[in-house]
Amino acid sequence: MAKLGFLGLGLMGYPMARNLLRAGHEVAVWSHTTDKARKLAAEEKGTFCATPKDVAAQADVVFLCVGDTAMAQEVILGADGVIQGARSGAVVVDCSTIAVAESRQIGAALKAKGVDFLDAPVTGSTPGAESGNLTFMIGGDEVVFNRIRPLLDPMGKKIYFCGGAGMGLQAKLTQNLILSNILMAFNEGMVLATKGGVDPTLMLEILDNSAAKSGLISYKAPFVFSRNFTTNFSVKWMFKDIGLMLESGEDLGVPLYLTGLTRQLFQTAIAAGHGEEDICSTIKVLEDLTGTTVAPKK
């Protein structure tokens, strides 16, 4: 069993680290919220650490799952960061969704200290993290990837190696780009159909039997119909990711017309008070404006 570290024990990181521990690995853990690290260490026989540096000092492979680019920079490159304690030959695997360019800079800074780095963002949200069914998209050195590959087994089922540094993030952001625009298309279409008198349940059935079928729509529509906006993936979180897509478009010189507009529509949903709700609550902006409720008639 390997000597591992895990940094960031939020909604995703906590169950991911727990799965590593339950698979029999030694895992040193740190989290911004100290209590979570203490709890996980106590309940699952992990090793509590006070700083990312301390985690790095005792791990061959350090996993990371934090909220944004600035946190990843702080946790890896900061005064108490991984870079201060990591051993030459160690590997840092960043499961956070952060900016491509900054991720590459982090990797380069670690490389200068003899530490390898992989960007390894995940999808599957909390249920996937808990059941060990995440999807990993990974960028970096393929030899390094192959070395750490077996360690991912307790956490995910689908593992995609996407190419050099940043490619895992590129693939993840592309996926979310398509998702966020499909969601806006669904909102427009479903409000139009409902306002026009078509029953939304029937409309969904028609979509599900057409080329317009989409995993996201099939999954989210029933929540909308039953007015259940419990957060699975929040508007604010996707808004942040759309910002990363646009940064990537800027870096690569690719205009992203729909995505630029979709970002402002997410901004609208935030302004209307839906920032902490599930992304499917974005439909409420258009519903409220048009006096429509996308739900089957009683």
So which residues are the catalytic ones?
Answer: 172
Residue 4 Cβ vs a second copy, minimum distance, rounded to whole Å = 26
Amino acid at 150: P
Q: Which residues contact 252 (CB under 8 A, 6 or more apart)?
A: none
What would you report as the CA-atom Rg of the chain, rounded to the nearest whole angstrom? 21
Amino acid at 209: N
In terms of Cβ atoms closer than 10 Å to its own Cβ (0-12, 13-18, 19+), residue 298 is: exposed
Name the residue nearer to a second copy (CB basis): 47 or 170.
170
Q: By CB under 8 A, how many residues form the interface with a second copy?
A: 79
**Of residues 11, 23, 71, 216, which one binds a second copy by CB under 8 A?**
216
Name the residue nearer to a second copy (CB basis): 82 or 235.
235
Q: What 3-state DSSP class applies to 89?
A: coil
Q: Does 283 bind a second copy (CB under 8 A)?
A: no
Whole-angstrom distance, CA of residue 269 vs CA of residue 144: 41
Amino acid at 215: G
The interface mask with a second copy, positions 85-124, x = CB under 8 A, is: ---------------x----------------------x-
Q: Does 77 bind a second copy (CB under 8 A)?
A: no
Name the residue nearer to a second copy (CB basis): 19 or 176.
176
The interface mask with a second copy, positions 140-179, x = CB under 8 A, is: ------------------x-x-xxx-xx--xx-xxxxxxx
C-alpha angle 129-240-190 in degrees, rounded to nearest 5: 85
Residue 28 Cβ vs a second copy, minimum distance, rounded to whole Å = 31
Q: Enumerate the β-bridge partners of residue 5.
A: 28, 62
Stretch that binds a second copy, among 5-13, 59-67, 73-81, 243-251 (CB under 8 A): 243-251
Structure tokens belonging to residue 207: 């979509």
Enumerate residues 182-201 that contact a second copy by CB under 8 A.
182, 184-186, 188-193, 195-199
For the chain, how long is the longest CA-to-CA vector? 65
Amino acid at 95: C
Q: Does 203 bind a second copy (CB under 8 A)?
A: yes
Enumerate residues 252-281 that contact a second copy by CB under 8 A.
252-265, 267-268, 270-272
Name the residue nearer to a second copy (CB basis): 4 or 294.
294
In terms of Cβ atoms closer than 10 Å to its own Cβ (0-12, 13-18, 19+), residue 271 is: exposed
Residue 289 Cβ vs a second copy, minimum distance, rounded to whole Å = 5
